[in-house]
């Protein structure tokens, strides 16, 4: 079937009927074609069998959706927190801010840890991307991006490069160098090209591939060296705001969340959406896989976080309280998966017991909304970035 990715209106001869018309640039199974809109329409109708009309298809989709709900409900025999009653409750937690990283001139929008557990990269609205050493609070590198609102940044697994992007619609990779004479901006490589802002990016297991999510509703997998599009993922009906890759042992999937309130799980190799979950009431701001890879959590503007189990194919827990009315912007699990840290727009961070569904602790300290939150790779600390221009570890 026709798959419409980037809609660029150009004028010229159609690949199919050879007439000169306004063309639509479409992708069919990763091959690119330029067809005029009449041919696209005809092709869309060609494949239909006799009794398939728009209304019959709509009916079928409704019945399938109901059937899906029924199937899911059948297996819903018990709630997670009921099963978790057997587990000991957690004691009181005292977590203090150990480091405050100051230096950004404007709101911190995104951050990521390096695999060496001490470095982290953060990006902010003023276009600056800074690499910090969390132990000493020194700034190791700073790059100024040509655009503002750098909404995504990621550290390469090797620790030798960072990727960032935002309103410039592309993802740029900067190799990190300690040579004082080298200008980091000169070595920049533009990897991804989207038709709308870049909302999230992440390296896959190697330095060579990057997965990006964009406001144009698509996610894409790129090869860093050549800048080529390896796979694109369509299905979201609105901006995709976040993505997370499955932990390496469990395979080639990733989950993305968007403004259409859906969280979708994709297969990296085929580009196919494997599962989708639509129980949130508002935009999903952040998704994160459970450490075992069998579940993921999502944080949304509807002030709740939900845990979805992939094998049971349904939502298994909701983390919310009447008193929380501000949207949750970011979420991450502790190393064992027992604790869920969530940052909210009411300037606080809540710590939830994943299994029991109860709140364990609230952390105060930021003076503006918490925009991003990540647990360090060894689980000893977590870092939160906020609109108050600082990061706290």
Q: Which of residues 310-329 bind other proteins (CB under 8 A)?
A: 311-314, 316
CB of 79 to other proteins, least distance (A): 7
* Binding flag, residue 7, other proteins (CB under 8 A): yes
Collapsed DSSP state (helix, strand, coil) of residue 292: coil
Instruction: Tell me which of 34, 84, 141, 359 binds other proteins, using CB under 8 A.
Output: 84
Instruction: Tell me which of 168, 216, 244, 301 binds other proteins, using CB under 8 A.
Output: 216
Whole-angstrom distance, CA of residue 271 vs CA of residue 10: 27
* Binding flag, residue 276, other proteins (CB under 8 A): yes
Place of tokens 């600082």: 390
Instruction: Tell me which of 334, 348, 358, 368 binds other proteins, using CB under 8 A.
Output: 334
Between residue 98 and residue 127, which ones bind other proteins under the rule CB under 8 A?
98-99, 118
Looking at beta carbons only, is 68 or 208 nearer to other proteins? 68
Phi and psi dihedrals of 148, rounded to 5? -95, 180
- Percent helix, strand, coil in the chain, to 5, is 10, 45, 45
Phi and psi dihedrals of 355, rounded to 5? -75, -45
Looking at beta carbons only, is 46 or 179 nearer to other proteins? 46
User: CA-CA distances (angstroms) from residue 287 to 78, 119, 125, 283, 329?
Assistant: 24, 22, 22, 11, 10
- Residue 81: enclosing H or E segment and its boundaries? helix 80-83
Question: What is the 8-class DSSP label of residue 182?
Answer: S
Instruction: Tell me which of 2, 230, 245, 318 binds other proteins, using CB under 8 A.
Output: 2
Whole-angstrom distance, CA of residue 132 vs CA of residue 113: 10
* Binding flag, residue 295, other proteins (CB under 8 A): yes
Looking at beta carbons only, is 207 or 332 nearer to other proteins? 332
Hey, which residues does 314 pair with through a beta bridge?
309
Between residue 135 and residue 164, which ones bind other proteins under the rule CB under 8 A?
135
Whole-angstrom distance, CA of residue 175 vs CA of residue 353: 39
Instruction: Tell me which of 160, 335, 362, 367 binds other proteins, using CB under 8 A.
Output: 335
Instruction: Tell me which of 52, 182, 225, 367 binds other proteins, using CB under 8 A.
Output: 52
* Binding flag, residue 213, other proteins (CB under 8 A): no
CB of 362 to other proteins, least distance (A): 15
CB of 152 to other proteins, least distance (A): 20
The C-alpha R_g of the chain, in whole angstroms, comes to: 22
Looking at beta carbons only, is 63 or 282 nearer to other proteins? 63
């Amino acid at each position: 079937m026709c798959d419409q990715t980037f809609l660029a209106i150009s004028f010229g001869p159609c690949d199919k009927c050879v007439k000169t018309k306004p063309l639509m640039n479409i992708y069919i199974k990763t091959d690119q074609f330029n067809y005029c809109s009449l041919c696209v329409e005809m092709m869309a109708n060609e494949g239909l069998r006799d009794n398939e009309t728009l209304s019959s298809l709509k009916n079928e989709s409704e019945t399938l959706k109901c059937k899906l709900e029924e199937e899911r409900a059948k297996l819903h025999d018990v709630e997670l927190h009921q099963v978790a009653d057997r587990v000991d409750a957690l004691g009181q937690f005292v977590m203090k801010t150990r480091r405050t990283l100051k230096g950004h001139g404007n709101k911190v929008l995104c951050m990521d840890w390096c695999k060496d557990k001490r470095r982290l990269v953060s990006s902010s609205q003023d276009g600056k991307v800074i690499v910090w050493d969390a132990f000493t609070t020194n700034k190791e590198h700073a790059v100024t991006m040509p655009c503002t609102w750098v909404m995504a940044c990621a550290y390469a697994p090797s620790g030798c490069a960072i990727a960032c992007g935002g309103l410039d619609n592309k993802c740029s990779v900067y190799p990190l160098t300690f040579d004082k004479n080298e200008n980091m901006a000169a070595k920049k490589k533009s990897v991804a090209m989207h038709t709308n802002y870049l909302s999230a990016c992440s390296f896959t297991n190697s330095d060579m591939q990057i997965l990006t999510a964009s406001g144009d509703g698509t996610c894409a997998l790129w090869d860093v060296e050549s800048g080529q599009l390896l796979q694109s993922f369509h299905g979201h009906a609105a901006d995709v705001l976040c993505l997370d890759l499955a932990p390496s042992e469990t395979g080639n999937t990733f989950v993305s969340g968007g403004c259409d309130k859906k969280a979708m799980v994709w297969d990296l190799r085929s580009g196919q959406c494997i599962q989708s979950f639509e129980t949130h009431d508002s935009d999903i701001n952040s998704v994160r896989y459970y450490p075992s890879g069998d579940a993921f959590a999502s944080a949304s503007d509807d002030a709740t976080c939900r845990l979805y189990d992939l094998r049971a194919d349904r939502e298994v827990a909701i983390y919310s309280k009447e008193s929380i009315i501000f949207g949750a912007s970011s979420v991450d699990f502790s190393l064992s998966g027992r604790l869920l840290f969530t940052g909210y727009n009411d300037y606080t961070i809540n710590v939830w017991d994943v299994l029991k569904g109860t709140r364990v602790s609230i952390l105060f300290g930021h003076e503006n909304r918490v925009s991003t939150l990540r647990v360090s790779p060894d689980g000893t600390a977590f870092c939160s970035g906020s609109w108050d221009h600082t990061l706290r570890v």
